[in-house]
Homo-oligomer: A and B are copies of this chain.
Amino acid sequence: MAPLSSSDETDGGLWLPVKRARAHELVIEVIEDRILSGALQVGDALPPERELASSLEVSRAGVREAVRVLESQGVLRSQPGAGAAAGTFVAALPREALSRFLRLHVALSNFTIEDVTEARIVLERASASSAARGLDGAARARVAEALAAGDAALGDRHAFNEADTRFHLAIADASGSSLSAALTGAIREAVRLPLLHAIERKAEWGDQSELLQKEHHAIFEAITAGDVDRAADATEAHIRRASAVLFAE
């Protein structure tokens, strides 16, 4: 950035390095417009950095910053090197990007644990209902597996938290709506660490994990029995009770 005069508090606004600061935003806007209009689709390659910089009349640094931003959103994927497979491509990687996003904003308390709990209840009631309406063999097996992993991990805080996450995700994934599943997964992932810290503070963990696991079995039973309302209600009761106990202090 160009140095500013010492009197910038009053007139600095006139001399900000405008073009420099906006280069990457311009590039992002151009790429986004092409995506929104359908001209750029998943798998398509971007022109090389040098070419993009020259045709948009911005610095190569500006192009690189824009690419980094869109990579972090799972919209672009860069393959380093110079071979035929190398380059920057339009990608389809929303899930990890969404998880990271929510994790950060939960950590910053831009969303509170109460907010997250309410959103989890809304989304997971729906996925439990949907699972109770019908589950294919593979999806059922994944839920059952996660449940068994929880049974085997009752004494181990860390392993139990992993199995617990897998159980909730398996139900969300089985529901068939990829956006709801991605949101459920991202939210669950966002609270994994706060949840683990809460679990670590609990002295009487053995009883807690047994109770949580009993509730998981009840949810699974309602799902396999095809009882839509019971599956949803058991899920809500479980999330509410667990949040109240774990985040009480």
Contacts and interface: CB of A to CB of B under 8 A. Distances in A.
A174 interface: no
B179 A119 contact: yes
A32 B101 CA distance: 10
Best-buried of A21, A66, A177 by chain B (most CB within 10 Å): A177
Interface stretch (A80-88, A145-153, A199-207): A80-88
Interface string A112-138: 101110110011001000000000000
A110 interface: yes
Contacts of A90: 108
Contacts of A69: 68-69, 71-72
A71 B28 CA distance: 13
Copies in the complex: 2
A95 to B, nearest CB: 9
Given A81-B12, A109-B42, A180-B118, A104 B35 contact: yes
Contacts of A109: 41-42
Nearest to A93: B110
A103 interface: yes
B4 A81 contact: yes
A180 B115 contact: yes
Interface string A144-178: 00000000000000000000000000000000011
Contacts of A72: 28, 69, 72-73
Contacts of A103: 36
Interface of A: 1, 3-4, 8-9, 12-13, 16-17, 21, 24, 28, 32, 35-36, 38, 41-42, 61, 64-66, 68-69, 71-75, 80-84, 90, 92-94, 97-98, 100-101, 103-105, 107-112, 114-116, 118-119, 122-123, 126, 177-180, 182-183, 187, 193
25 contacts: A4-B82, A8-B83, A9-B83, A9-B84, A12-B81, A12-B83, A16-B80, A35-B108, A42-B108, A61-B61, A64-B65, A68-B69, A73-B100, A74-B105, A75-B104, A75-B108, A93-B110, A94-B110, A111-B178, A111-B182, A115-B180, A116-B179, A119-B183, A123-B123, A179-B187
